[in-house]
C-alpha cells in the first residue's frame, strides 16, 4: 500500500480525508493527524454541504482541549478514508473548529487505531501496518 504523505503546516501534520454520508461524498483538505486527541472531529460548515447536520437523535458533547472548549454533535457516517486507510460506519464529532488557523478536521486516536495507522515522522508518511 502506498503511504499517504503528511504535509506540515505550522509544524503540524495534515492530510486530506474523504467522508461519505448517505451516499454523498466530500473531500476535506486540512485535517490534522493528532495522537493527542481521543476522538475525530470535523468542521460543521464543511460537512453541511453533504447534509451532515444536527438532528434530534444526535448526541451532544462538550470537548475541552488546548484550543479551548466547544460543543459538538456525534454522527455515524458511511465511511472515513485517508488514502486507502478507510473505516466504515464510523462515529465522528462535528463542531465549529474555530481555533484561529485553517483546520477542517482532526483525526484522533479512534480513527488511527481503527485503520491500524503507522505514523512515520522521519518520512512524513501515514500508512497501515
Asked if the model's pLDDT at residue 128 lies above 80, the reply is yes
3-state helix, strand, coil in the chain (%, to 5): 10, 55, 35
Q: What average pLDDT does range 9-38 have in this prediction?
A: 96
Q: Is 13 exposed, middle or buried (0-12, 13-18, 19+ CB in 10 A)?
A: buried
Q: Chain centroid to CA 41: how far?
A: 5
Residues 30, 103 contacting (CB under 8 angstroms): yes
Residues 3, 125 contacting (CB under 8 angstroms): yes
Neighbouring CB atoms inside 10 A of 120's CB total 11
d(CA 128, CA 26): 23
Domain boundaries, the chain: 4-128
What per-residue confidence (pLDDT) applies to 66? 63
Q: pLDDT: is 68 or 85 the higher one?
A: 85
Q: Assign 77 to helix, strand or coil.
A: strand
Share of the chain above pLDDT 90, in %: 83
**Residue 108, C-alpha cell as written in the block:** 484522533
Range 4-128 classified under CATH 1.10.760.10: no
Amino acid at each position: 500500500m502506498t503511504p499517504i504523505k503528511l504535509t506540515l503546516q505550522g509544524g503540524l501534520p495534515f492530510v486530506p480525508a474523504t467522508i461519505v454520508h448517505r451516499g454523498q461524498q466530500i473531500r476535506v483538505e486540512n485535517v490534522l493527524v493528532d495522537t493527542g486527541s481521543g476522538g475525530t472531529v470535523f468542521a460543521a460548515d464543511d460537512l453541511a454541504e453533504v447534509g451532515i447536520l444536527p438532528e434530534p437523535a444526535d448526541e451532544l458533547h462538550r470537548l475541552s482541549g488546548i484550543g479551548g472548549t466547544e460543543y459538538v454533535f456525534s454522527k455515524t457516517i458511511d465511511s472515513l478514508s485517508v488514502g486507502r486507510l478507510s473505516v466504515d460506519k464510523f462515529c465522528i464529532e462535528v463542531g465549529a473548529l474555530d481555533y484561529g488557523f485553517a483546520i477542517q478536521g482532526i483525526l484522533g486516536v479512534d480513527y488511527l487505531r481503527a485503520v491500524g495507522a503507522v505514523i512515520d515522522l522521519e518520512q512524513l508518511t501515514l500508512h497501515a501496518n
